[in-house]
Amino acid sequence: MYCMKFEELRLNRPLLDAVRTAGYETPTPIQAEAIPYILEGKDVLAVAQTGTGKTAAFALPILHRLGDGRSPRPEQQGRRGSRKIRCLVLAPTRELAQQIMDSFKSYGRFCKTRQTVVYGGVNKHAQTRTLRAGVDVLVATPGRLLDHMADGNVSLDGVEMLVLDEADRMLDMGFLPDIRRILAKVPKRRQSLLLSATMPKPIRDLSRDILSNPVSVEVARVSSPAEAIEHFAYRVEKSEKSQLLCTLLENTPFTRALVFTRTKHGADKVVRNLTKAGIEAAAIHGNKSQNARTRALAAFRSGKTAVLVATDIAARGLDIENISHVINYDLTAEPETYVHRIGRTGRAGASGTALSFVSGEDRGSLRDIERLICTQLRPAGDLPGYVAPKVMFAELPHRPRSAAPRGTGGQRNRPRAGATNSARRRPGRGPRRARTAVAS
C-alpha cells in the first residue's frame, strides 16, 4: 500500500523536523487532504472528529504560512513594535484551547513563531502581559477573548488566518453571538478554516457566512466511529448504576477508563461512590476550578488516577492516549454525542471498548445510536451480581410469559473475574433472560 510522506506536502524544513520529533511517520488522511489546500490559501470546511489528526492538519500549514522566523512585515507591527496577531484560533473549551496551543508549540518548536492561549477560569494578568508583548498566533475561547478585547489588550485587525475548531460544539454551547462579535473585528480579507465533527444546518449556515469558496474535506463520517472499538451495553436500572460501575471496574482489566455522566452533580456523585469503594477517580466539569481540572487531567494522563469522570462539555476534544474503556454511565440522547464520547478510545488503530449503561428509558436513545453507528451494542457479559441479558430490548415485546419477571433481579451469578465481554466469548451460554438487575 502506498503511504504519502510528509515531505510530499511541501512543508518547510523546521516543520518537517518537528513532525519527525513528534514521531509521526505519515500524514493522517485529513492532513494529506487539507494541508495542500490550506497551503494554497484556500478556505476549508472540514468534517473531522477528534483523533483524526485534525489539529496538525491546520496547525502545520498555518505555521508554514506564518513563515519560519522571518520578521513580521511592517504592517504587521503592532503598538510599540509588538507583533500583531496574524492567526486566531477559536475553540469551545479551555482544555481544547490548551491542547491546540500545545500542538502549535510542539509543531512550531523549530520556528520563531510566538503563540499564546487565553481562556476563562484563570487570572487575566499573565494573559494580558503576553498579549501586550505581541503574538503571531492566538488560541482562545470566545468569552475570554471578548473580555480581553473589551479591555483593549488585543486587536484583531492584523488577522490573516482564522480557525473555528469544533464549531458544532461552540454552537451547542451557545457561543454563536460571541463568535459573531469577534468576527466583526476580524478583517474580511483573510483565510478561514472551519472544523466540525458534525455538519447540522446551523453549521452549514455559519460556514456560508464566514467561508468564501471553501473546499470541503471530509475524512471520517461521524456515523462511522473507529472500527477498532467494541460496543457493549449493560441493561441496568438507574438506581443500580453506581453498584454496577464499581463491580465493573473491579472485575475488568483496564488501563484508563473515561466515564461520562449527564450532569456535573452526577459526575461528583460517581466519584464519591467510587472513592468509597476504594477506586481512585477524579471528575472534570464546568464547576471545577481550572486548577482542579488541570490537576485531574494531569493525574489521569500520567496514570496516577485510572478513572476520570466527565460531562460531555468538559471532555470535548480531550486528547488522552491509551483510554482503554469509555463508559457511558448515563447514555446520551444525541447519538452524535455517543460517537464523540467513544472517539476517546480506540485511537490510531488501538483497540478500545465502549460500555454503555442502558436503562428502560434509554431505549429510544439506544435505537438512535445503533442506527447512526450501524452497529448493535451487544449485551456485555455477566458480572458478580449482574446477569447479562441475551438481547437488550429487541425481543421484549415478544417475551414469553414464562420469562423472568421484570425487575426481580432474575438469578444471580457467582462472582467471576474479568467477565466484561464474556457474553461474546461464550455463545449460547446462560439462561435466556431478557431482563436483569444488579445487586444493590
Q: Which stretch binds ligand AMP (CB under 6 A): 53-61, 83-91, 354-362, 412-420?
A: 53-61
Q: Which helix (H) or strand (E) holds 118?
A: strand 115-118
Residue from 35, 44, 47, 54 in contact with ligand AMP (CB under 6 A): 54
Residue from 46, 56, 419, 438 in contact with ligand AMP (CB under 6 A): 56
Binders of ligand AMP among residues 333 to 362 (CB under 6 A) are 348
Q: Are 267 and 310 a contacting pair, CB within 8 Å?
A: yes
The sheet with strand 215-218 has its strands ordered as 115-118, 137-140, 87-90, 161-164, 191-196, 44-47, 215-218
Nearer to ligand AMP, 12 or 82 (CB): 12
Q: What angle do CA 56, 128, 68 make, to 5 degrees?
A: 35
Radius of gyration of the chain (CA): 24
Nearer to ligand AMP, 55 or 127 (CB): 55
CB atoms within 10 A of CB 182: 21
Nearer to ligand AMP, 55 or 359 (CB): 55
Q: Which stretch binds ligand AMP (CB under 6 A): 45-53, 185-193, 282-290, 349-357?
A: 45-53
Q: How far is the CB of 30 from ligand AMP (least distance, A)?
A: 8
CA distance 375 to 378: 9
Q: Which stretch binds ligand AMP (CB under 6 A): 24-32, 114-122, 216-224, 366-374?
A: 24-32
Identify which of 439, 358, 363 has the alpha carbon closest to the alpha carbon of residue 395.
Answer: 363
Q: How far is the CB of 375 from ligand AMP (least distance, A)?
A: 22
DSSP lists the bridge partners of residue 352 as 229
Nearer to ligand AMP, 52 or 113 (CB): 52
Residue 50 binding ligand AMP, by CB under 6 A: yes
Nearer to ligand AMP, 22 or 133 (CB): 22
**Letter string b/e over residues 57-82, b meaning 16 or more CB atoms within 10 A of that residue's CB:** bbbbbbbbbbbbeeebeeeeebeeee
Which string of x and - marks every residue 137-156 that binds ligand AMP (by CB under 6 A)?
--------------------
Q: Which stretch binds ligand AMP (CB under 6 A): 46-54, 158-166, 203-211, 230-238?
A: 46-54
**Letter string b/e over residues 226-262, b meaning 16 or more CB atoms within 10 A of that residue's CB:** beebbbbbbbbbeebbbbbbbbbbebbebebbbbbbe
Residue 53 binding ligand AMP, by CB under 6 A: yes
CA distance 237 to 243: 11
Which string of x and - marks every residue 265-304 that binds ligand AMP (by CB under 6 A)?
----------------------------------------
Which string of x and - marks every residue 301-320 that binds ligand AMP (by CB under 6 A)?
------------------x-
Q: How far is the CB of 24 from ligand AMP (least distance, A)?
A: 4
Q: How far is the CB of 355 from ligand AMP (least distance, A)?
A: 22
Can you read off the three cell numbers belonging to residue 115? 503563540
**Letter string b/e over residues 362-397, b meaning 16 or more CB atoms within 10 A of that residue's CB:** beebbebbbebbebebbbbbbbbbbbbbeebbeeee
Q: How far is the CB of 296 from ligand AMP (least distance, A)?
A: 19
Q: Are 267 and 281 a contacting pair, CB within 8 Å?
A: no
Residue 52 binding ligand AMP, by CB under 6 A: yes
Residue from 14, 51, 385, 410 in contact with ligand AMP (CB under 6 A): 51
Q: How far is the CB of 8 from ligand AMP (least distance, A)?
A: 13
DSSP 428: T
Secondary structure (H, E, C), 278-293:
CCCEEEECCCCCHHHH
Q: How far is the CB of 360 from ligand AMP (least distance, A)?
A: 36
Q: How far is the CB of 109 from ligand AMP (least distance, A)?
A: 13
Q: How far is the CB of 21 from ligand AMP (least distance, A)?
A: 12
In 3-state terms, what secondary structure has residue 128?
Answer: helix
Binding residues vs ligand AMP (CB under 6 A): 24, 27-28, 31, 50-56, 319, 348
